[in-house]
Chain A
């Protein structure tokens, strides 16, 4: 069935370093890949997404890359700041029809000052 694997489960970096989170998906028909950030006790919030017709997308300090052949996609955060500390979830979905998001298990990112 549909499955999304996410690594690492925890990530600790120093402020100013880069952080990379990787996901792989099983459904080859998936073509929409969003990333969500969830701060403690709060709702997940969309931070960036990518569709299968592009290989990379950037928004200030965050970027996402997609390799459809290998069925994996990654989140890159540069110049990390303490406020980037949160749990990050990747997700995958087909974009047509009645399609839901399937989420990875999450990565707990800690940015130390």
Chain B
């Protein structure tokens, strides 16, 4: 167990729908990062939060949004889902602003049908 908790583990939904993925970082970690991993692909950076504030954005679609709450858990919202959004979504956390000790959660597998 990495200490980073992601729920749900699996999600199946229809095109056009909206889903919310949840991530709880390791105890004491202030940074949360979201990544998308499509089938047999690499890890595409989506967005980073530090202590409740957005700090970096990658190639995140406008249909996607995220936030980090005062208790430091984070949610990734995906709307108007398309078949191509099917992927593994990982979150990772680190203690501070830097990427040392980046630890990943087990991921949420999203299938859009």
B102 touches A46 (CB 8 A): yes
Chain A contact residues, majority secondary structure: loop
Set B43, B56, B99: member contacting A32, Cβ < 8 A: B99
Q: Pick the interface stretch among A52-60, A62-70, A75-83, A95-103.
A: A95-103
Q: How far is the CA of A45 from the CA of B98 in the complex (A)?
A: 17
Range, interface on chain B:
20 to 34
Closest CB in chain B relative to A20 CB, distance in Å: 19
Q: Which residue of A lies closest to B33 (CB)?
A: A100
A44 within 8 A of B: yes
Set A32, A43, A104: member contacting B105, Cβ < 8 A: A43
Residues in B neighbouring A61, C-beta threshold 8 A: none
A residues touching B (Cβ–Cβ < 8 Å)? 32, 34, 36, 42-46, 49, 89, 93, 95-106
